[in-house]
Structure 1
Amino acid sequence: MKKLLASAALATATLAMSALATAADYKIDTKGAHASITFKIQHLGYSWLHGRFNTFDGGFSYDADKPEASSINVEIDTASVDSNHAERDKHLRSKDFLNVRKHPKATFVSTSIKDSGNGKMAVTGDLTLNGVTRSIVIDAEKVGEGKDPWGGYRAGFTGTTRLKLKDFNIEKSLGPAATHVEMVLDVEGIRQ
């Protein structure tokens, strides 16, 4: 009986270790400019204002055979907001919007990933922005993965989400058409 229990324990441990061995850790390739965090918001209901965050970092763990066991974390330098207009960017950094003096970083840490099939997934996680942490869902899709020309291995994803400004204590009124901001996240990771 002891041998049977020992064999079962060894088999369970081996299976658990082999499952862990298939997950891989990736560093988001921000240095090679193969990742971006962009946004758009309506301006008075007449047009779209586009912008981006130029400085961010992070990584993810990904297992193609078990996407629900994957995870992602990102840290954004909020002062790096760039809407291609210096005066507007100064205002975006102020207490009216991102309040970068008090909250210089925004973070996203995934809490669960639901595989929807065909490379699509719903990534749920905690976004901390302007001193407020809320659970959000990013609709994500795998773009591709494989070897790169320099002997490494890469995986890339794209994702979108829509944030209500007031949920993150951004109370400045931009008119009834500008209560939400649409975010697009494109990440390419280098396997470590």
Structure 2
Amino acid sequence: MRLAETARRGMPSCFVGGQALCGAGPPISPRRKGTRVKHEFIKTLATAAIVCGMSFGAASAQEGIDLVNGQTKFDIDPHHATVLLAWNHVGMSTTYAVVREFEGTLDLDPAKVEDANLSVSLKLGSLDTMEQKRTEDLQGPRFFNVANFPTATFKSTSVKRTSDTTADVTGDFTLLGQTKPLTLKVKYNKASKNKDKLLVGFDAETVITRADYGVATLAPMVGPEVTVKISTELLAAAK
């Protein structure tokens, strides 16, 4: 025991656990050397697998985007799109509503994402909370005043790419006759062909402070901020 302890004390600090970490120390037997080589080989394979996985992930991040050939105009497919609104109610729960009728276009060239143009129009008379009295109240003069302002619109003014699949799309949002800058956080999902029809899919999210548009009714009991979530497929327009 003492001999072993003395031997350990005599070893240089770069020799730990019976394995040389630098040039000092006793020679490694061929058997142990083979084991170390094997471990290094496995480590190399693991590293290569990780790198390949990262490369594959980068390559597939924009799945199907190569199908979009140059500047292409897309129209929102109303059968595969959702506009969801959400706001807090007295700190107790989240209230939801959907806008059932809307339309929009996207002009996109994958090679020039920053030059993309997005235009969306929401028909507020189609807003639905799944509760009749609440829906009528929101469509009435206390909130969206649909009789006088039937639509809300968004027209992009700039696009800032934030990753291979995400971008900040800033534009002019008009609600109740007032226009303010608004930024959508947009995520590209996929492009594909279905029966020779070219489609692209996106998700987008933003937050609207309703007082900015003159709607402070029942705040803060009814949340002053409204989260808007959009998920949509768009069809390439016929050329």
| TM-score (structure 1 length as normaliser) | 0.85
Q: Trace 1:51-62 onto structure 2 (pairs within 5 A).
A: 51-62=97-108
Q: Trace 1:17-36 onto structure 2 (pairs within 5 A).
A: 22-30=70-78, 33-36=79-82
SS state at 1:42 partner: strand
CA-CA distance at 1:116 after TM superposition: 1.0
Q: Trace 1:82-121 onto structure 2 (pairs within 5 A).
A: 82-121=128-167
2:209 maps to 1:164: yes
SS state at 1:35 partner: strand
Query: 1:66 aligns to what?
Result: 112
Structure 1 unaligned segments of length 5 or more: list them: 1-20
RMSD: 1.2
Query: 1:134 aligns to what?
Result: 180
- Partners of 2:184 and 2:204 in 1: CA distance: 6
CA-CA distance at 1:174 after TM superposition: 3.6
For the 8 Å contact 2:216–2:224, the answer to whether it is kept is no
Query: 1:182 aligns to what?
Result: 227
Give the fraction of aligned pairs with identical amino acids, expressed as a percent.
Answer: 25
Task: Compare the two structures and name the one with the higher helix fraction.
Answer: 2
1:44-88 CA deviation, whole Å, 9 max, x = no partner? 110000111000011101111221111110111111001100110
Aligned length: 169
Task: Compare the two structures and name the one with the higher strand fraction.
Answer: 1
Structure 2 unaligned segments of length 5 or more: list them: 1-68
Higher Rg of the two aligned structures: 2
Higher relative contact order (CA 8 A, sep 6+): 1
For the 8 Å contact 1:96–1:171, the answer to whether it is kept is no
For the 8 Å contact 1:154–1:191, the answer to whether it is kept is yes
